[in-house]
A and B are shown apart, each in its own frame.
Chain A
Amino acid sequence: MKADKVVEFDVALVERARRGDAKAFERLYRDHVGRVHGLCLRMTRNPDLAADCVQDAFIKAWKALPKFEARASFSTWLHRIAVNTVLEKRRGPSNAEIAVEDPTAHEEPTMTFDTPVEEEELEAAIESLPQGARDALVLCGVYGYEQSEAASMLGIAVGTCKAQLHRARGLLRDRLERGVR
């Protein structure tokens, strides 16, 4: 199904779900759960915690449906709720990271390797990244969000997001021992 068709389909389902149709919401869940879970799993690195976050995110989404604006993307809105849920669950003194702001950094979110890398190896390298760098890479690099969108989702400055992407690129280069453009 083409992307615009998916969006139209989502809009119709969202409209039904807003009127209290749980079946329509279940369909939305089935269509989006894989992507939301992938996002939560990569951010938390913990399957049980990721599942909790997914569950909570969908429950929050159901409750917040009356506030959802139909012109926005349901997928982006849902991801924002999921990211917020992950941040809430991991919130604590040990997770505090000092933001490194570098407004001069120009970071391309797309990362290309000069020689192919095995999927498992890449997943493991991403998993080993520090939290801030991993969050920025997952949202921008894997899920294709603009840096400004990712920064807004994570509650950080765009400069910080760019700096974290820069950091992620350098660390991936070291850990995968290959060029990353």
Chain B
Amino acid sequence: MGEPLVLKDHSGESQIFFERAIIGFLVLIALMLFLLGRLFHLQIIQHDMYATLADQNRIQVEAIPPVRGLIYDRHGEIIAHNMPSLNLTIIKEVSPDIDLTLSNIDDLIGLSAEEQQAFRRRLERRQRPYEPVPVIFRLSAEDHARIVVNKNILPGVQVEATLIRHYPQGSLLAHAVGSVRRINENDAKRLDRVAYSGTNHVGKIGVEKHYESILLGKVGHKRVETNARGVVMKELDSVDPEVGTDLTLHIDAALQRVSSAALAERRGTIVAIEPSTGGILALVSKPSYDPNLFVTGIDHETYSQLLESVDVPLFNRALQGQYEPGSTIKPLLGIAGLVTGTISPDDVISDPGWFRLPNEDRLYRDWNWRLSDTGGHGEVGLQKAIYRSCNVYFYDLAVKLGINRIHQYLDLFGFGKNTALDLPEARSGLLPSVEWKNENRGLAWFPGDTVNIGIGQGDMLVTPLQLATAVTLIANRGRWVAPRMLKSGYVLDEDRNNKDIDVVPDYIWDEIISAMEKVVHRGDQELGENGTAWAYIGKDIPYRMAGKSGTAQVVNIKQGKEYDENELSERQRKHAWFIAFAPVEEPKIALAVLVENGGGGSEVAAPVAREILDYYLKRKTH
């Protein structure tokens, strides 16, 4: 010890330490209480908030899609059902190199650039990590096998079975029933996210669209516990989905097949209605398309072909096609004339083959008038005017009725408005009036406009469905039934706006129906006295049918010219109409047939109508 001895103040040092230790102890107690306070705050005061956060962390809800309701025809034949389909999916987290995986899939079974893009979009929209994202829908058995065999080079790739909408009738009922399509981004904005979670499709057209909410069913869900990486650890609880409601339609698939076959390869449309119910038995629009193409996502090429075809197969002629009604309007004008007392059944006019308004030069021709100034129907009363389809009689009647009364009576039959109950694509057509012309054309109504309306030409437009509805009303003698698809499975909302046509007394119905019968059945008479359709369909008909032909011009025939089929290209030819119901005594079916650019109604459209009626009336079950 080289240092000098230092005398330490032991007592003093002990005292200093004691003080400091006690101060330290007090600080320690204070900090302990501070920690306790903090934990109390988190665990007791904020407990509810953090408990919720913890649950949100771990609990994920997975949707279980409901099974969509089936659609049957009136005899229980399946129209739309759900088929198991194999989807190829990828779990991103398990597939370290998505690009490589996609290119491997491409090598094995082919994967278009479009499909890859769609997959990437879906990948961005997925809800949680580890969620399988579909790459290919409806894997074929062969492709499935290839995928399974090469599983080792496809990390994260899975094949999942789901149910997918399928229309076993293919193109037959595409326009009648509509279809579901894949939910696109616009749909996603509009649709309820919860109800459609786990569902890839939504009814976009027709019955599938109108009854979407009840066909869909109710989504189920299971709550699963996932860890921080999103891997499902266990299922906590689940709510089963509710199956969608099955629907039975009035559609008669067999009749639809016969109707479609009757049109053969011609463009055209047929709407057949059961008069007692308004139920649509057949709704054909040709050409058609396979709705199944749209369920899985149609490829670009096929879609543009469908879209750009001059035959517009995607266009529903029966509901959206708006045509001039032509002579099919005549029985209705006859009713208006009789009810208003403008004419009586016995009034007769003389038909020189043309009609001319007072103080006008223009000639309104009859259909059998020639430039040589031959033709005309001679002495014509109402009955003959209908079964011979005399234009001049109705030119005259239309002028006498005036546009306002024509509008009033045609309105009773549902023209110019959409009366369909569950056909979302149905259009209103056009029933012209003085107000309409003023508003839309800025022009006054001319007497000549009225003349044209007399034979269903000019501005008036109807859909085949509207014309079928009108003939149904004649068959029902004025009792209103709105056209409908749904037969059973759900309660239909009836339209209370349509009132029965009770201004027409029975004898007038008899008069008109009898005239329409003669269109088909009056035969073996001298030239110019047979019903217009008799020669084509009436000679061997075993039941009583009431009908009326019509021919709608596609191009105007100039003054001083004749309609010559050979001069016009195929698509400029007249549309052939035929409306009918049968049997006359107790109508079971009413229909409207249109053959686009077909030519004369009696010659072209009437045989189609008869083929359908023959089949339907011969069959025992309806």
Q: Do A and B come from one complex?
A: no
